[in-house]
Amino acid sequence: MDNAVGGEVKNSIMDMHSLKEHFSYLGDSYVGRWVNIGAGSVTSNLKNTIGNIRYMGIDTGMIKLGSIIGDWVKVGINTSIMSGKYIGQGSSIVGLVRDNIPPFRICVNNDCEKLRIDKVIEIYRRFAELRRMSVNENEISLIRAVYDFSLHEASS
């Protein structure tokens, strides 16, 4: 069992072990590995003004660009992500996402708190077990390394 995809997907890439099984929309986006996208969630890929979309403060020159969703992200049900938004690795989001989300955060409507590494690993373990896949210690080591690196980057 690898990826499971349902609902509407347009011009998007999903890395391994990610799920988007329910009715939702994923357009012009990238989804990392071990991501779960909840039912009814939507990635906007077009601004209401039909203008160019900015990504990380840079004008992309594109009028269609969805989300860049990092590894180990959990997107709650009925979450709406505005066009051109970045969702950092290991984050858990729900509600309306209007801003970029740094790695390892838990956010409700862009109100975010830091997510502890032990919680991120616990969520990964549960997700792997839910998918009837064995927990990979190398994946856990990678989560820890990315977490440590993101702490270093945040303090620089």
Confidence of residue 4 (pLDDT cuts 50, 70, 90): confident
Going from the C-alpha of 42 to that of each of 1, 15, 154, the distances in angstroms are 24, 18, 29
pLDDT digits (tens, 9 = 90+) for 90-128: 999 999 999 999 999 999 998 999 999 999 999 999 999
pLDDT of residue 153: 61
pTM: 0.92
Chain-wide mean pLDDT for the chain?
Answer: 94
CA distance 101 to 111: 10
Edge-to-edge strands of the sheet including 105-108? 4-5, 19-20, 36-37, 74-75, 92-94, 105-108, 111-114
pLDDT digits (tens, 9 = 90+) for 133-156: 999 999 999 999 999 998 766 654
**Active-site pick, 5, 7, 15, 22:** 22
CA distance 113 to 156: 19
In the residue annotation, 152 being an active-site residue is answered as no
Residue 120 identity (one-letter amino acid): V
Instruction: Name the one residue in this structure whose structure tokens are 């309306």.
Output: 96
Instruction: Name the one residue in this structure whose structure tokens are 């992200």.
Output: 73
Secondary structure class of 19 (helix, strand, coil): strand
